[in-house]
A and B are shown apart, each in its own frame.
Chain A
Amino acid sequence: MVWIYISESLLYLCFSLLMGSFILQFIPERLKPKISIPKRLIQLSVLGIIFFSAAPVIRIILFLYEDIGLMLTMQNVLGGFGVGKAWNVTVILALFFYLFVSLFPVLKSKVLAGISLAFTFIFLLALGWASHAASLTEWSGFVVHSLHFLAVTVWVGILLIVGWCSKNQENWLSYLKWFTPLAIGCFLTIMGTGIYLMTLVIDVNEYGDAWMLPYGQALLLKHLTIIPVLFFAFINGFWIRRKLQRQEQINPIPWLKFESILLYFTFVSTAVLGQQEPPHSIEITFGGSGSSAVFDYFYSGIIDPSMHVQFGLNTISTMFFIVAIIFMWLILYSFRKKAPASVSFFMGMFCILSLYLGLIASIQ
């Protein structure tokens, strides 16, 4: 169960790495720090797409083979099922792509980087095609899902490559000048498309009710993770810029690294969302897959699928929110006091935990 989430989140990571690497080839040298991307990273990311996109297929084979035998199942799944066929196409294309990035200097020429970018984009569309949203609507779900994923991979991809492959921090101000607006644009796109995708699956008024289900829990954690991400984005995009303009000594790279780690957590919760049963109707889903274990633990009343989760502030939940605000403030405070980025990162993690428990505790 856990492995499918890990594999799925690593798939998003591979996409982001490819996207970021190829986009950065189009940025003139004077607008970015010195970056050296190991070729092996590109190769591994392509292989990653092959392996990690196999997870749903493997899952189906494991699900069925007890009944009709392993060989027959594999023939059936790979030859007959939509998922299996889609994966076949992905593998054949990805093998081509692998040879392409291995044989040609894709990180040396703009033309080759452009072709690679197009390749990556095709894979991205294939993934959108297989998404929940695509199966729910004629075409809008597919388009919006792909757009959502594209915005994520552009933003996170560039962040990852600059954060982990930069050799120095020259041209940092001119890099921020173009990256900050791009990141804001991507973020707004992600938010808009994300809200649309969410309404496909749950009624916004049932957001709290969905917490009874694993799906809702994953959605809540994903949204909460975005809060510390925004604090880090503010530090990286604005505060560090101001410090650099004042000629202060500061190394922005660790801050980028930790922001990308936080973003990876959103990948994991997204993976959980993608594999869980979306609660088109909370009551029916409840009957099919039961309630979330965490919710069971904190909620001692009789859980009735038709009930509506009611919120009300009580002493305990208020205290949790207070401590959450303290942690938010500590994220910024430790930056101001020049503490290492890891301190802010942990403050961010505690902030997520406090907010989560505060919301859970305010259920009446």
Chain B
Amino acid sequence: MKRIISATLILLFTFTTTVSAHTGLTISSPADGEYITEDVYEIVLEFNSKIESTSTVKVFDESKEEIIISNTQVSDNVITGGFMSPLDNGAYTVEWKIIGADGHPIQGTYSFMVSQDELEEPVVTEENQETSDVPKEESIEEPVEQSIEDSSKIASNDVLVLILVILFTIAGGFFGWILGRWQK
């Protein structure tokens, strides 16, 4: 009985979450952050080593709806998925999950935009200008912040000093204690 209990405990201990390993995404089409102006019929992910056949790829649109991929194929180090119809305009998120050749599971996400030229073009450019304005402000602010921090990049200086004081106290305390208690 005891042995059974310990065995189940050991099994319970082996519960884990995922950790990544060797294999990584090398090339994809559409690529990460790409801005596409034509019809997208399929998605292709290429990895830097052979992947197991149970690897999957999913694509979601802006409203987190999954786009149906009709046939996912895994061959050697490439996953290909075809869409039923070309993708509409909008931002898409790709989620991939693979098992590398060495048995390590790894997953990742990236996104791309589809924006085909249509009658709305002026609107698009206006939006574009608006959105490009915002990053500009940010990009002005950032260097300022950085230059302040450049002088001391360790954020938690106070924390470090506090730890130092504690460590010195411990060292001193132990020294005194050893000296007093085990004096021969």
Q: Which residues of A contact B (CB under 8 A)?
A: 1, 3-4, 6-7, 47-48, 51-52, 54-56, 58-60, 62-64, 67-68, 73, 76, 80-84, 130, 132, 135, 275-278, 280, 284-285, 288-289, 297-302, 316, 319-320, 323, 326-327, 330, 333-334, 337-339, 343, 346-347, 350, 353-354, 357, 361, 363-364
Contacts and interface: CB of A to CB of B under 8 A. Distances in A.
Contacts of A132: 21-22, 102
The range of chain B's interface size is 35 or more
A132 B53 CA distance: 21
Contact of A59 (B7, B16, B146, B184): B16
A300 B155 contact: yes
A311 B154 CA distance: 12
B37 to A, nearest CB: 26
Contact of A361 (B16, B22, B150, B160): B160
A143 B130 CA distance: 60
B5 to A, nearest CB: 13
Contacts of B157: 316
Given A51-B7, A347-B174, A357 B156 contact: no
Contact of A277 (B11, B15, B22, B171): B22
A350 B171 contact: yes
B129 interface: no
Given A7-B14, A299-B155, A63 B105 contact: yes
A4 B4 CA distance: 21
B164 A320 contact: yes
A343 to B, nearest CB: 7
Interface of chain B: mostly helix, strand, loop or mixed: mixed
A135 B101 contact: yes
Nearest to A319: B164
A6 B15 CA distance: 11
A354 B10 CA distance: 34
Given A4-B16, A47-B7, A288-B20, A337 B171 contact: no
Contacts of A83: 102-103
Interface of B: 7, 10-11, 13-22, 24-25, 52-54, 56, 97, 99, 101-108, 142, 146, 149-150, 153-157, 160-161, 163-164, 167-168, 170-171, 174-175, 178-179, 181-184
B106 to A, nearest CB: 7
Contacts of B179: 337
Contacts of A289: 20
A6 B56 contact: no
Given A288-B108, A337-B179, A301 B14 contact: no
Nearest to A340: B182
A59 B19 contact: yes
29 contacts: A1-B19, A47-B7, A51-B11, A55-B14, A58-B15, A63-B97, A73-B54, A76-B54, A81-B52, A82-B101, A132-B102, A135-B22, A275-B19, A275-B21, A277-B19, A277-B22, A298-B156, A299-B155, A300-B154, A301-B146, A316-B161, A320-B164, A327-B171, A330-B174, A338-B182, A347-B174, A350-B167, A354-B167, A364-B153
A339 B178 contact: yes
A143 to B, nearest CB: 17
Nearest to A60: B105
A298 to B, nearest CB: 6
B15 A3 contact: yes
Nearest to B164: A319
